[in-house]
Amino acid sequence: GESVGLHLPTLSVQEGDNSIINCAYSNSASDYFIWYKQESGKGPQFIIDIRSNMDKRQGQRVTVLLNKTVKHLSLQIAATQPGDSAVYFCAELGGSGGSNYKLTFGKGTLLTVNP
Amino acid sequence: GAGVSQSPSNKVTEKGKDVELRCDPISGHTALYWYRQSLGQGLEFLIYFQGNSAPDKSGLPSDRFSAERTGGSVSTLTIQRTQQEDSAVYLCASSLLTSPGPEAFFGQGTRLTVV
């Protein structure tokens, strides 16, 4: 998994497996979290978000889990496909200073899906 | 256009030269953000525009960096006297609302290489 301040980790999975990408955040005041997918040569693309008053949110093939006690966020991708190969970033908002527009990004996790 | 457009896609410049990076946001989006992404790193906030005003320039690394936005639309990020450490991908995003989220979209970025 990733954490703000650590080197870019990698995750390699087989097509069809489930993937779990982790993120640790440091600011307990953050109240909004986003997962982004970034394919090579493209800008980040929104995947799913979650607010701090929730601990789980589901989308299409993706689920985000938030554990505020340990300041941990995870992205679960079901039935991973080759098209899911990309760098995944978590981002937080609303931390110290109460900014509602300045996202703080983690360094990302490179997901490689093997056919 | 349908999305956020950035130009040029790639820029190679000699150390000491000035460069201008352009961002065309989605029509009607009042909020515009510039981020910088160094190799293998997450995104680093540079500046935020609301309309033509920049209420937060706190992320600009030095006084060599400046940005403007005209007509509530196109934004230009200017780097004067470029240095090798300025090499990075510069990403622009725009959103209808102040707070980024599912309605905020990133451009593909400008890859700047200072030689």
- List the CATH number of the domain containing B35: 2.60.40.10
How far is the C-alpha of A71 from the C-alpha of A37, rounded, in Å? 21
Q: Which residue of B has its CA nearest to A10?
A: B40
Q: Do A101 and B41 touch (CB under 8 A)?
A: no
Token pair for residue B15?
Answer: 């150390």
**Residue A96: pLDDT above 60?**
no
Closest CB to B42 among A46, A93, A106: A106
Mean pLDDT within B90-110: 90
Q: Chain A: give the shortest CA distance to residue B90, in Å.
A: 10
Residues 10-49 of A with CB under 8 A from B: 32, 34, 41-46, 49
Domains and CATH numbers, chain A: 2-114 (2.60.40.10)
- Taking the mean position of all CA atoms in its chain, how far away is CA B37? 10
Contact list, A44 vs chain B (CB under 8 Å): 43, 91, 106
Question: Any idea which residue has 């451009």 for tokens?
Answer: B107
Neighbouring residues of B59: CB distance < 8 A, sequence distance ≥ 6? A102, B34, B44, B45, B46, B47
Which pLDDT value is given to residue A2? 40
Give the number of domains in chain B: 1
Which pLDDT value is given to residue A6? 42
Q: Does residue A105 come out as left (phi exceeding 0), alpha (psi in the -120 to 50 range) or beta?
A: beta
Mean pLDDT within A75-104: 87
How far is the C-alpha of A74 from the C-alpha of A89, rounded, in Å? 11
pLDDT digits (tens, 9 = 90+) for A20-44: 999 998 888 888 999 999 999 999 9
Which pLDDT value is given to residue A56? 98
pLDDT digits (tens, 9 = 90+) for B28-71: 999 999 999 998 778 999 999 999 999 889 899 999 999 999 98
Query: Between the CA of residue A88 and those of A36, B5, B27, B43, B78, what are the distances in Å?
Result: 6, 22, 27, 12, 29
Closest CB to A102 among B42, B48, B109: B48
Structural domain for B85, as ranges: 5-114
Model confidence at B100, pLDDT cuts 50, 70, 90, reads confident
Closest CB to A41 among B33, B98, B108: B108
Q: Do B43 and A100 touch (CB under 8 A)?
A: no
Which pLDDT value is given to residue A1? 42
Neighbouring residues of B65: CB distance < 8 A, sequence distance ≥ 6? B46, B77, B78, B79, B80
Query: Between the CA of residue A115 and those of A18, A67, A81, B15, what are the distances in Å?
Result: 13, 32, 8, 43
Contact list, B40 vs chain A (CB under 8 Å): 7-8, 107
Which pLDDT value is given to residue B98? 79
Q: Over pLDDT 90: what percentage of chain B? A: 80
Mean pLDDT within A83-109: 85
Contact list, B45 vs chain A (CB under 8 Å): 102-104
pLDDT digits (tens, 9 = 90+) for A32-82: 999 999 999 999 999 999 999 999 999 999 999 999 999 999 999 999 999
Extract the runs of DSSP E, i.e. beta strands, from A68-105.
72-77, 86-93, 104-105
Which pLDDT value is given to residue A84? 97
How far is the C-alpha of B80 from the C-alpha of A114, rounded, in Å? 44
How far is the C-alpha of B19 from the C-alpha of B6, rounded, in Å? 14
